[in-house]
């Protein structure tokens, strides 16, 4: 028998909230042992709350999400997509604001409170509609009514235009969601909030991960649409010439032309501007490997031969001109050298200030170099393969692509590094763990063959940030941060300075979360059950809530139109976010389940479940269950699935009440006496507040 890890469930309600505890084998438990790790919530950690658009360090930071893309060798790789910032006056006060699309599908507005040439931002807010994972944003007056509209490219290659249906001073883009939406599992877009543009009689779609930019490219007074393609082997910038009007853009069949070839570059994010000051529109293009590309505009803007052949003017194809250097390598770096020649530096690793990153691990099975991180500690972590709590470095420059499989072999730290743990690995699953000391605060940039490489998935937005008449570059990072590089040169000869974080005011306090619990939630809901580990709280009835036992308890409260939810998916301190792949193909958005991995329980034995709870305007449904795979004797190699569960309903009272129940663990006759994995599921019903403490699952008896 081969038990399936989790049962297949249809979640319901308003927010999906899953919690999974650390497991311990049943053989290690005796009678009276609690199977639920940290059920009393005493082990806690701080989690940044960036739903005001600002992190605890005061840096602007929006939400993030990784997507699977095709990379070299036609293999899939999950990679974080960047934010897409725009610097425009969206509220008509003659000060340019920041309007930012994030890779989770939200559009943020940071109002400019500063003076001319000195932008100043506080906290942000987002427009209450959702536009799909990895959305790319360009803000432009699409319908010519004098207000700024949103043009958005999504992960499936569609481009959407959302008009401002509010006013110039109070912009509004579609109606806010009055109730939870229903999404389709695997479809990364909430299509109820936007309708794709048309190309002829069909939706306008271009490869995938479309990145739009609107500009009057041919000077006829009508906005044209420039779109960068996304994934592997789709590497061109296209232009759709407007065949409609300035107030009603249209794109008929045959108006699509190539504007620039990526020449192998991918995930192209184009922007049109006069970069070199010659009076012609150029292209500034970000790309997958972290470089900023410059395509110089041509005076022969249109091909006469094509016009004679097709009866219409076709834009001239632009040639790649150069990479745009950004920043300077003026800070020390962590240096690595070749084993055969330790004095020859072949790689420089540079990273930002980050209290989590201290260790380097080289996986020799794939030669992928990763950071092993542990929250607020300098202890060496022994890696597993794949390494637990590991994130790929943003950029490793060694003369090969970051997706290559041969750029990490044979590297150790330079001799001057004071600390080194190195062991020659053996076998396909061996790993080398090198400890290094950061010499100083390191920049985020690395220079390679005269080029400046930022981080994967560059999004660059040209703008005059400080209003000195020179074009600067505004960047969206895959970690959600917004940065600016000021132009230190002169018109026609840009010299880009170092990247600096755009700062704001942190208004949302960080949350305290119980360690060893993970949370998940549906992506397309403006309501949620917000979980917090607290030492004290004031209940909806006005009395003070204290823990039943210990110092902490869990508060689980419903928030309607909550201005944001916490970044539950940050994976450090032993907990992180994960969308439950075992859900059915559709779910009601915001299903509110809490799931606890109860460990391996012995079929046919008695166990006791208990916990303390209190609440108001809320009810708890629970069940302890598993799915068992039973081999079919009639058909070798096949199995049938049986669901086994114990369930119940518990009303919550305004004061602490202990729930306890003893039951026999269900299962098939064939599995009686075996230890199989079970999970405890809790479902909240209502719109109130619940408190929990001291979860215990004890046995066997």
Interval 124-164: pLDDT, tens: 988 866 677 788 999 999 999 999 999 999 888 899 998 99
Beta strands in 306-344 (DSSP E): 314-315, 320-323, 334-338
The pLDDT score that the predictor gives to residue 38 is 83
pLDDT above 80: residue 203: yes
Beta strands in 243-389 (DSSP E): 256-261, 269-273, 282-286, 292-295, 302-303, 314-315, 320-323, 334-338, 345-349, 357-363, 368-373
What's the mean per-residue pLDDT of the chain?
70
Q: Which residue has the higher pLDDT, 102 or 568?
A: 102
Query: Which range (267-271, 476-480, 511-515) has the least confidence?
Result: 511-515
pLDDT above 50: residue 381: no
Q: Compute the half-sphere exposure of residue 263: CA atoms within 13 Å on the CB side of its CA.
A: 11
The pLDDT score that the predictor gives to residue 383 is 34
- pLDDT single digits (tens) 222-233: 999 999 998 765
- pLDDT single digits (tens) 638-652: 556 777 889 888 899
The stretch 68-76 carries a mean pLDDT of: 72
Q: What does residue 375 show for φ and ψ, rounded to 5 degrees?
A: -65, 120
The pLDDT score that the predictor gives to residue 435 is 32
- pLDDT single digits (tens) 234-287: 679 999 999 999 999 999 999 999 999 888 788 899 999 999 999 999 999 998
Query: Which range (336-350, 463-477, 522-536, 677-691) has the least confidence?
Result: 336-350
Which token pair is 119?
């932008």
Domains of the chain by start residue, with CATH: 26-49+509-699 (2.60.120.260), 66-180+189-327+450-501 (2.115.10), 335-440 (no CATH)
Angstrom distance (rounded) from CA 641 to CA 143: 56
The stretch 302-318 carries a mean pLDDT of: 59
The pLDDT score that the predictor gives to residue 91 is 96
The pLDDT score that the predictor gives to residue 684 is 77
Question: Dmax of the chain from CA atoms?
Answer: 89
The stretch 515-544 carries a mean pLDDT of: 72
The pLDDT score that the predictor gives to residue 179 is 38
The pLDDT score that the predictor gives to residue 188 is 39
């Amino acid at each position: 028998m081969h038990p399936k890890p989790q049962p297949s469930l249809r979640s319901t309600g308003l927010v999906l909230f899953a919690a999974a505890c650390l497991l311990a084998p049943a053989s290690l438990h005796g009678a009276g042992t609690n199977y639920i790790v940290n059920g009393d919530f005493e082990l806690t950690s701080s989690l940044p709350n960036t739903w005001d658009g600002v992190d605890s360090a005061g840096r602007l930071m929006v939400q993030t999400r990784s997507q699977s893309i095709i990379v070299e060798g036609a293999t899939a790789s999950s990679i974080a997509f960047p934010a897409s910032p725009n610097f425009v006056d969206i509220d008509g006060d003659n000060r340019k604001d920041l309007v930012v699309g994030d890779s989770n599908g939200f559009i943020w507005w940071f109002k400019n409170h500063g003076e001319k040439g000195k932008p100043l931002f506080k906290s942000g807010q987002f427009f209450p509609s959702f536009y799909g994972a990895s959305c790319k944003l360009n803000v432009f007056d699409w319908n010519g009514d004098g207000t700024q509209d949103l043009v958005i490219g999504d992960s499936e290659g569609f481009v959407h235009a959302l008009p401002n249906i509010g006013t110039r001073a109070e912009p509004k883009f579609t109606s806010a969601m009055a109730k939870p939406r229903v999404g389709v599992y695997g479809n990364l877009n909430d299509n109820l909030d936007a309708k794709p543009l048309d190309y002829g009689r069909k939706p306008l779609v271009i490869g995938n991960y479309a990145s739009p930019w609107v500009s009057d490219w041919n000077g006829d007074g009508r906005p044209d649409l420039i779109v960068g393609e996304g994934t592997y082997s789709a590497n061109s910038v296209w232009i759709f010439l407007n065949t409609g009007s300035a107030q009603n853009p249209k794109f008929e069949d045959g108006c699509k032309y190539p504007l620039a070839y990526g020449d192998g570059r991918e995930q192209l994010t184009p922007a049109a501007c006069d970069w070199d000051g010659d009076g012609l529109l150029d292209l500034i293009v970000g790309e997958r490997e972290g470089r900023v590309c410059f395509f110089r505009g041509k005076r022969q803007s249109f091909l006469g031969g094509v016009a004679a052949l097709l009866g219409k003017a076709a834009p001239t194809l632009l040639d790649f001109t150069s990479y745009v250097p950004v920043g300077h390598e003026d800070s020390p770096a962590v240096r690595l050298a070749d084993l055969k020649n330790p004095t020859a530096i072949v790689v420089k690793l540079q990273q930002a200030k980050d209290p989590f990153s201290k260790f380097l691990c080289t996986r020799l099975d794939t030669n992928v170099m990763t950071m092993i991180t542990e929250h607020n500690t300098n202890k060496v972590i022994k890696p597993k393969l794949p390494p637990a709590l590991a994130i790929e470095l943003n950029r490793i420059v060694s003369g090969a692509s970051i997706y290559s499989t041969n750029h990490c072999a044979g590297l150790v730290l330079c001799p001057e590094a004071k600390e080194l743990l190195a062991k020659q690995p053996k076998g396909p699953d061996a790993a080398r763990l090198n400890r290094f000391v950061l010499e100083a605060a390191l920049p985020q940039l690395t220079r390679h063959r005269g080029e400046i490489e930022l981080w994967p998935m560059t999004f660059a937005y040209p703008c005059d940030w400080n209003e000195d008449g020179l074009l600067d570059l505004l960047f969206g990072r895959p970690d959600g941060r917004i940065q600016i590089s000021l132009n230190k040169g002169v018109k026609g000869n840009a010299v880009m300075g170092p990247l600096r974080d755009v700062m704001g005011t942190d208004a949302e306090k960080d949350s305290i979360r119980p360690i060893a619990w993970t949370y998940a939630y549906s992506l397309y809901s403006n309501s949620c059950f917000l979980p917090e580990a607290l030492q004290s709280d004031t209940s909806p009835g006005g009395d003070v809530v204290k823990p039943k036992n210990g110092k902490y308890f869990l508060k689980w409260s419903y928030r309607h139109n909550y201005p944001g939810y916490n970044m539950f998916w940050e994976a450090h301190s032993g907990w992180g976010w994960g969308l439950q792949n075992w859900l059915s193909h559709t779910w009601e958005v915001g299903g509110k389940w809490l799931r606890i991995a109860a460990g391996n329980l012995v079929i046919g034995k008695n166990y006791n479940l208990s916990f303390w709870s209190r609440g108001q305007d809320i009810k708890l449904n629970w069940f302890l269950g598993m799915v068992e795979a039973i081999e079919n004797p009639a058909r070798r190699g096949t199995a049938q699935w049986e669901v086994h569960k114990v369930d119940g309903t518990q009303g919550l009272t305004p004061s602490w009440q202990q729930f306890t129940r003893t039951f026999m663990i269900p299962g098939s006759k064939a599995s009686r006496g075996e230890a199989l994995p079970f999970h405890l599921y809790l479902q909240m019903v209502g719109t109130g507040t619940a408190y929990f403490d001291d979860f215990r699952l004890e046995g066997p008896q």
